[in-house]
């Protein structure tokens, strides 16, 4: 079966760095996405990785290792507004997104 | 980035009535759109995949006669919840896929059935 695993909840301090991990087992792989979702709102696109390595975009970076079925989202210089759920999703061989359950990130001052 | 709109953002309806939700890709053409349902504190649940000009593909357990999907053009898909009941109350979110297979979400529609 297809499976995406990510931690349910994480807590970090304002100004610090946090890494949210995602492991996956899917039928085929056509890329991995990270989305941010604030409570009561729809998800917003953060990043897309299809090749191994680190993609940096401002305070957010995303890493992929296809051989290990592993990705992480790295958030630097955390701000209170970063408190949200972070969803990992993998595009399978049919170009469908398989979703993780999301990681709720709590930022404390 | 690509923009997807959804209308209405909130709707309250009485039990037994039908509600239509529109999803539009504003600055790109989307041959494929997706409809999701999200319960409080839960992840997204894919309901159906909508392809322009053809019948939607429903996920297991989703009643196709209750959740009618029409993808009439490359920029518009509609979801109609027929004979709505209180258990249909939820947050419905659409997304549209670009030609590069990136997926962008609409802002969502909160449906409350009384």
pLDDT in tens, A25-48: 998 998 999 999 888 788 888 998
Q: What is the pLDDT of residue A27?
A: 87
Please determine, for residue B18, whether its predicted confidence score (pLDDT) is greater than 70.
yes
Q: Which of B43, B107, B108 sits opposite A99 (nearest CB)?
A: B43
Mean pLDDT of B40-44: 73
Please determine, for residue B42, whether its predicted confidence score (pLDDT) is greater than 80.
no
Q: Which residue has the tokens 């897309």?
A: A48
Run of H or E residues at A28? none
- Please state, in angstroms and as integers, the Cα–Cα distance from residue B38 to each residue in A4, A85, B30, B61, B84, following that order: 17, 13, 22, 15, 16
Please determine, for residue B43, whether its predicted confidence score (pLDDT) is greater than 90.
no
**B93 in reach of chain A (CB within 8 A):** yes
The backbone torsions φ and ψ at residue A23, rounded to the nearest 5 degrees and listed phi first, read -115, 150
pLDDT bin (cut points 50, 70, 90) of residue B59 is very high
> Tokens in use for A4?
């995406």
Mean of pLDDT over chain B: 90
Strands B10-13 and B109-113: parallel
Q: What is the pLDDT of residue A40?
A: 78
Those residues with Cβ within 8 angstroms of residue B110's Cβ, 6 or more apart along the chain or in another chain: A40, B9, B10, B11, B90, B91, B92
Those residues with Cβ within 8 angstroms of residue B44's Cβ, 6 or more apart along the chain or in another chain: A43, A87, A99, B36, B37, B38, B93
CA distance A68 to chain B (A): 23
Please determine, for residue B41, whether its predicted confidence score (pLDDT) is greater than 70.
no
Identify the closest residue of chain A to B103 by CA–CA distance.
A45
Residues linked to residue B64 through DSSP beta bridges, in sequence order:
none
Interface of A with B (CB under 8 A): 30-31, 33, 35, 40-45, 48, 87, 91, 95-97, 99-102
Q: Rounded to 5 degrees, what angle do the CA atoms A61, A78, A25 make?
A: 40
Distance CA A89, CA A87 (A): 6
* Cβ distance of B44 and A43 shorter than 8 Å: yes
pLDDT in tens, A56-101: 999 999 999 999 999 999 999 999 999 999 999 998 887 778 889 8
């Amino acid at each position: 079966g297809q499976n995406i695993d990510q931690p349910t909840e994480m807590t970090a301090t304002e100004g610090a760095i946090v890494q949210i991990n995602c492991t996956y087992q899917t039928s085929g792989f056509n890329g991995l996405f990270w989305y941010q979702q604030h409570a009561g709102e729809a998800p917003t696109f953060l990043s897309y990785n299809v090749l191994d390595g680190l993609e940096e975009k401002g305070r957010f970076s995303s890493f992929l290792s296809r051989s290990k079925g592993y990705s992480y989202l790295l958030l630097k210089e955390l701000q209170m507004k970063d408190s949200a759920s972070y969803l990992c999703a993998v595009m399978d061989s049919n170009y469908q997104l398989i979703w993780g359950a999301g990681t709720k990130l709590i930022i404390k001052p | 980035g690509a923009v997807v709109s959804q209308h209405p953002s909130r709707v309250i309806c009485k039990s037994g009535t039908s509600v239509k939700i529109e999803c539009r890709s504003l600055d790109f053409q989307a041959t494929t759109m997706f409809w999701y349902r999200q319960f409080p504190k839960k992840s997204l649940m894919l309901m159906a995949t909508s392809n322009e000009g053809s019948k939607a593909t429903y996920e297991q357990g989703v009643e196709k006669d209750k959740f009618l999907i029409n993808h009439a053009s490359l920029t518009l898909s509609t979801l109609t919840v027929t004979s709505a009941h209180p258990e249909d109350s939820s947050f419905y979110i659409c997304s549209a896929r670009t030609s590069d297979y990136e997926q962008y979400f609409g802002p969502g529609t909160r449906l409350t059935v009384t």
